[in-house]
A and B are shown apart, each in its own frame.
Chain A
Amino acid sequence: MLALSLTNGLVIGIVYALTALGVSLVVGIMNVVNFAHGEFYILAGYFSYLFAHTLGIHPLAAMVIAVGLVFLLGLVVEYTLIRPTYGDDMYSLILTFILSIVFQSLFLLVFGPYPNKPPSWIKGATEVFGLFHYGNQRLAALAAGVVVIALFFAMLKLTWFGRMIRAAAQDREMAELNGINTTRLNLLSFGLGCALAAAAGVILAPVFPVTPTAGTPVALTAFVCVVLGGMGSMSGCVLGGLVLGVVENLGAAYVSTGYKHVFMFLILILVLLFRPAGLFGRREV
């Protein structure tokens, strides 16, 4: 049971981290809490289902197209809806909240109330070290999640765009003084945040089929990861996701399966009590 709980905690934790990275990026750069983050995740799952299942496109190509489309949609949303709210966090908060409701209604209208699942990349299950059976699609999702997170961090550390993101996250005014066009950076960061949600959506939809309202818990967990890791801290966000995944699974295995998500909030309360800025966050002076 311990081995399974840790493995499953790791898998679920990577998933949480992947979805939370987009939130963390947008919060760090733009100070915008995107309530529709979960809906971008679901939209990518639906696109992936539509292209692969209905149109018969190869699942991998369907995933890439889905992420690309959500990225473009993210750019449009930032340009048309978020940009006019610059300077007033409350407006963007309300706007993205309304956007999430609009998305949910549209999903219901277009895709119906039933769950939709794109084709699995790999079927069956594997016996892990003779200890337990584990779904192959989950193991594939773990690998894909790790690759996407690694690519994201490589981009952040090794590219000019990554440096601009880090600079703006640390000191926006100083970044502007050094010639960074922060308006354009906002646009791209929001699109990238949506694309990260989409990446999580296409990786996970074959494991957890998408439904119109499934985005709400996704966004909620992502926010918890971000707060847990420290607002705007990318590595903190990954650690937050892993901690949540493992704690939830150990709690379910050894305490109670009926209150799995309560453990998530217990951890959050504890961290906020003893480290109010989060695990990797810095106190404001």
Chain B
Amino acid sequence: MNKKGFVGVIVLALVGLMLAVGPALGADPVKIGVVGPRTGDAAATGKAFEEGIQLATAWVNAKGGVLGRPLEVVFEDTAGAPDKAASGFERLVTRDKVAMVLGESHSSSALAEIEVANRLKIPFVVVEAWADPITAKNYRYVFRAGPSNSGVVNETIAKWVQASGFKKAYIVAENSDWGLGIAQLTEAALKKAAIPYEQLVTERKSQDHYTELTKIKQFGPDVVLAYVYGTGLHYFVAQAGEVGLTPKAVILDGAGPPSLWPDYWTNVGDYGNLECFVSSMHEKVELTPLAKEFRENYVKAFGKAPTDYKSRSIYDAVLIAADAINRAGSLGAENLVTALEKTDLLTTRGKAKFGMEKGGPEYHQWMPPMLVIQWQDKAQTVLYPPEAATGQLKR
């Protein structure tokens, strides 16, 4: 072989090697969008989403990406405002050309976004916005891989209240789509269970709850079902202790993450002990091998244990999206919807499978199992469901 021929073989070999090493290396990435609050009152959720996205993208790309191309996630800030959420969603589709959109944690924002998803015919997998109408509208392009108000109330909270033998309950709801919706469902569930209750609405951004708490104390409940999100929950728990409502009554944080935020104990002090909260994640209970892997990778990446379960919710959603794209074999919206409808994937929270029965919130809905956990001397004890319980309710 002469010199020219030798060089030609080398060049051909290099080109061949480049093609064989992995199509993902040189290919354009497949983009999916995420919507969520990176600023504003619920910026903590944005942080949890960022962490989950980082881990999920690394996981998917380490396994060959999607359609032989790397997966890229574009995160659009909604600031928790419906108008910004709708325009942010539209930007992801028109500017970034994403194949599908995931995320959201504010029901009011999600309700604005589903209209855009439906209009632009882009698959949207809602993650942590719980209001029933999100899936109850039965839009073809809208899915939810996360809790719904009716699922959380009927499958977890109401059953726990009954199983714990509480005699009188008080429902406190913030004036948001999520708060008012979940309070209404709780009311119906308590009525059905013949448990006496009273209810009040509090302002979403209120810092001072003394008047509300004094009203609640006068009623003398043994459980307070608090549907208050964010820092407001910290104020509520601390002030409930100050006015002497707790520990006589047990507070259940009906959302979960604020009870797990890093500053929870600094903000509520000893009044945080014996508080209960709803969560899809517990420090010692892992439902699937992937959940264990998630925890290990999280600790490796961030040098701390995961607390806010929303990091794991978005992680699952990215995995569901990657799986659907691979099965669809293309980025066409119709193919993606069909693939999502046939999802049967083991995630960190169990097997994801979307409901197909039309007419109610179960359509395109996958409800992961939720736990009721109690803080007992700063350690988490699972109270409900009984098969996952690690201890008993303390009062």
List residues of chain A with CB under 8 Å of any chain B CB.
1, 4-5, 8, 12, 53, 104-105, 108, 112-117, 120, 123-125, 132-135, 138, 208-209, 211-214, 217, 249, 252-253, 256-261
Q: Are A8 and B210 in contact (CB under 8 A)?
A: yes
Q: How far is the CA of A53 from the CA of B44 in the complex (A)?
A: 21
Interface stretch (choices B6-14, B52-60, B258-266, B357-365):
B258-266
Q: Given A115-B263, A209-B231, A209-B267: A258 and B242 within 8 A (CB)?
A: no
Q: Are A8 and B263 in contact (CB under 8 A)?
A: no
Interface residues on B, range: 35 or more
- The 0/1 profile, CB within 8 Å of A marked 1, for residues 95-136 of chain B is 000000000000000000000000000000000000000000
Q: Are B200 and A258 in contact (CB under 8 A)?
A: yes
Q: Are A4 and B242 in contact (CB under 8 A)?
A: no
| CB of B28 within 8 Å of the partner chain | no
Rounded to whole Å, the gap between the CB of A100 and the closest CB of chain B is 13
* Complex contacts, A133 vs chain B, CB 8 Å: 242-244
Q: Given A53-B266, A115-B234: A258 and B201 within 8 A (CB)?
A: yes
* Complex contacts, A217 vs chain B, CB 8 Å: 205
| CB of B47 within 8 Å of the partner chain | yes
* Complex contacts, B212 vs chain A, CB 8 Å: 252, 257
Q: Are A116 and B211 in contact (CB under 8 A)?
A: no
* Complex contacts, A114 vs chain B, CB 8 Å: 44, 261-263
Q: How far is the CA of A12 from the CA of B239 in the complex (A)?
A: 14
B residues 209-231 in Cβ contact with A at 8 Å = 210-212, 214-215, 218, 231
Q: Are A132 and B200 in contact (CB under 8 A)?
A: no
| CB of B269 within 8 Å of the partner chain | yes
Q: Are B269 and A253 in contact (CB under 8 A)?
A: no
Q: Given A1-B218, A4-B210, A213-B41: A117 and B266 within 8 A (CB)?
A: yes
Rounded to whole Å, the gap between the CB of B36 and the closest CB of chain A is 12
Q: Given A4-B214, A217-B205, A252-B211: A257 and B200 within 8 A (CB)?
A: yes
Rounded to whole Å, the gap between the CB of B253 and the closest CB of chain A is 15
Q: Given A1-B215, A1-B218, A117-B266: A211 and B231 within 8 A (CB)?
A: yes
* Complex contacts, A249 vs chain B, CB 8 Å: 210-211
Q: Given A1-B218, A209-B263: A113 and B43 within 8 A (CB)?
A: yes
Q: Are B201 and A257 in contact (CB under 8 A)?
A: yes
Q: How far is the CA of A88 from the CA of B210 in the complex (A)?
A: 43
Rounded to whole Å, the gap between the CB of B94 and the closest CB of chain A is 26
Q: How far is the CA of A258 from the CA of B267 in the complex (A)?
A: 24
Q: Which of B203, B211, B243, B262 touches A5 (beta carbons < 8 Å)?
A: B211
Q: Which of B41, B211, B235, B241 touches A4 (beta carbons < 8 Å)?
A: B211
